[in-house]
């Protein structure tokens, strides 16, 4: 792990000029997203039957979040996939605020991958309450590029779509990145093969010409479930990679060591001038802060091309938050928190996260990203949670995927992680189904309150209990939008 020093020497790249004639999707700035957006009234939620006794295809649930609606907290529509066994996991938009200057683009289509099947689905959300599946890219088309197991979907500034892929065509390493064009056709691999071995999440900051990616493992390692022997054999990741965004090449790799085992979700601050961000190491249950330590020397590539010189420098990483394991009578080893999701508020003031096994949703003030300050914690569900039922509904698992309203006042979360891991740690999740819960956030005072009147129950789906995973809003959210 790199040494860490003060971040005071990191100055925003204000000299780099950008023009934002707002003609395309999204918002011109993160602050505009906060001020101009309306309250979320619908959510799209990944919903799946993989690993349950219900032999049905996975679906995307449309959830009514309008408290004035008669169907508030109900799943009002389901977009079923055409095949069984996809394991819908993470998904994203065809366009976001990174394309706000591109005339003619709409934030309209959801790209919905199957993690196990490697099938890519395209959903048209023109009718927000009744979206429809319009296109399917079959796995064989993906395997042609020696890639499989799609994960993070981000739109990129010119209307294309980039998807992190965790394995090769056989489910082994290495993974890579698959690029789609704005007609949802596979363009090919984004990066030269061989840049990385493991892959998982990624986030890019175009003004800084940087992308950061993380590591889970080969699909064949994590598909069956978690095995401690795989960790001891070095089959899980512990490194993060910083890329040249324009060239698609890795410029720097940082090994987080044992305290950074399984670095999953990664977030740059939303402000495009910043080089600061955070990554959550799930198994070690630590949060790392990263930032670029500036160098006075201009980038060699800019000098060679004659482009406007941009700042250069090495990225640094420092452990910023450490969640201690806890003893439990039913475990023969201390229980890690298993920090599986993190999220930054749109104003970059608060970092939220979930400790799936401990049953915690936490909130840290990261106004000074090098010195996070704990603001509040909710103890709900999981192995240790103080609240184990909501509206009489017993919770089967801990808080997992998070999504925050653009104004930062409502935090929603679901309870399924990954089917085989659910079955291992919370087998009742398959029998009872997942839930979606909500906390009311007071950004001024840095507090959260569980809304015990809010419950969306996947245990009551018509075909039987289903799992619920990632959440998105139709008008953008805190984990999908990037700014130039």
Closest listed residue to residue 443, CA positions, set 296, 306, 344, 329: 344
Band the pLDDT of 2: cuts 50, 70, 90: very low
User: Average of pLDDT values for 396-407?
Assistant: 98
Mean of pLDDT values over 71-83: 98
Mean pLDDT of 230-239: 97
Burial of 312 (0-12, 13-18, 19+ CB in 10 A): middle
What pLDDT is recorded for position 383?
Answer: 97
Starting at the edge strand found earlier in the chain, the sheet holding 249-255 runs 202-205, 210-213, 239-244, 249-255
Full-model pTM? 0.93
Lowest mean pLDDT among 156-165, 272-281, 301-310, 459-468: 301-310
User: What percent of the chain has pLDDT above 70?
Assistant: 93
Could you tell me which residue, 193 or 253, shows the higher pLDDT?
Answer: 253
- 110 or 9: whose pLDDT is higher? 110
Beta-bridge mates of residue 342: 353
pLDDT exceeds 80 at position 6: no
Q: Residue 239 in 3-state DSSP?
A: strand
Q: What per-residue confidence (pLDDT) applies to 294?
A: 83
Mean pLDDT of the chain: 93
Across 248-269, average pLDDT = 98
pLDDT number for residue 8? 39
Q: How confident is the model at residue 297 (pLDDT cuts 50, 70, 90)?
A: low
Whole-angstrom Cα distance, residue 263 to residue 213? 9
Per-residue pLDDT band at 5 (split at 50, 70, 90) = very low
Q: Please report the pLDDT score of residue 318 as a whole number.
A: 98
CA distance 64 to 66: 6
CA distance 112 to 109: 9
pLDDT given for residue 193 in this prediction: 86
DSSP 373-410: EEEEEEEBSTTT-SB-EETTEE--S----EEE-TTS-E
Task: Give the model confidence (pLDDT) of 120-166 as tens digits.
Answer: 999 999 999 999 999 999 999 999 999 999 999 999 998 899 999 99
**Position 9 pLDDT exceeds 50:** no
Split at pLDDT 50, 70, 90, the class of 300 is low
Tens digits of residue pLDDT in 37-57? 999 999 999 999 999 999 999
Q: Quick: pLDDT tens for 146-157.
A: 999 999 999 999
Q: How far apart are CA 98 and CA 301, in angstroms?
A: 23
d(CA 360, CA 338): 10
DSSP conformation class of 308: P
Q: Is the pLDDT of residue 1 over 60?
A: no
């Amino acid at each position: 792990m790199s040494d860490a020093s003060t971040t005071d020497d990191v100055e925003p790249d204000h000299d780099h000029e950008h023009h934002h004639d707002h003609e395309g999707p999204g918002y011109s700035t993160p602050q505009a997203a906060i001020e101009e957006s309306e309250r979320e009234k619908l959510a799209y939620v990944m919903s799946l039957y993989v690993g349950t006794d219900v032999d049905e295809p996975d679906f995307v649930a449309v959830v009514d979040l309008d408290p004035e609606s008669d169907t508030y907290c109900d799943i009002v529509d389901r977009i079923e996939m055409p095949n069984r066994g996809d394991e819908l996991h993470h998904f994203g938009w065809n366009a976001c605020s990174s394309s706000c200057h591109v005339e003619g683009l709409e934030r309209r289509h959801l790209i919905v991958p199957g993690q196990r099947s490697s099938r890519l689905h395209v959903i048209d959300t023109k009718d927000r309450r009744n979206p429809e599946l319009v296109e399917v890219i079959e796995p064989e088309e993906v395997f042609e590029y020696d890639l499989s197991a799609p994960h993070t979907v981000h739109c990129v500034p010119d209307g294309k779509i980039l998807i992190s892929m965790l394995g090769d065509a056989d489910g082994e390493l290495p993974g890579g990145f698959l690029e789609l064009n704005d007609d949802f056709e596979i363009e090919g691999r984004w990066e030269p093969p061989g840049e990385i071995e493991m892959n998982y999440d990624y986030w890019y900051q175009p003004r800084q010409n940087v992308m950061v990616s993380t590591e889970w493992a080969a699909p064949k390692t994590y598909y069956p479930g978690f095995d401690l022997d795989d960790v001891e054999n070095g089959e899980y990741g512990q490194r993060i990679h910083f890329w040249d965004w324009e060239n698609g090449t890795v410029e720097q790799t940082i090994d987080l060591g044992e305290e950074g085992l399984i670095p999953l979700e990664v977030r740059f601050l939303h402000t495009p001038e910043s080089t600061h961000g955070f990554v959550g190491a799930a198994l070690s249950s630590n949060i790392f802060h990263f930032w670029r330590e500036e160098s006075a020397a201009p980038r060699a590539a800019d000098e060679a091309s004659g482009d406007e010189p941009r700042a250069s420098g090495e990225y640094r990483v420092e452990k910023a938050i450490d969640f201690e394991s806890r003893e439990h009578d039913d475990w023969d080893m201390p229980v890690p928190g298993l920090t599986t999701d993190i999220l930054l508020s749109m104003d970059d003031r608060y970092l939220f996260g979930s400790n799936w096994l401990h049953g915690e949703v936490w909130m840290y003030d990261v106004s000074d990203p090098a010195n996070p300050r704990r603001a509040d914690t909710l103890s709900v569900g999981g192995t240790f949670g103080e609240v184990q039922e909501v509206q009489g509904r017993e919770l089967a698992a801990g808080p997992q995927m998070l999504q925050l309203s653009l104004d930062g006042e409502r935090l929603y979360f679901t309870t399924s992680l990954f089917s085989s891991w659910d079955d291992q740690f919370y087998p009742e999740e398959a029998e009872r189904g997942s839930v979606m819960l909500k906390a009311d956030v007071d950004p001024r005072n840095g507090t959260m309150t569980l809304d015990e009147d809010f419950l969306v129950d996947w245990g009551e789906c018509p075909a039987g209990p289903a799992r619920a995973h990632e959440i998105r809003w139709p008008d953008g959210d805190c984990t999908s939008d990037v700014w130039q």
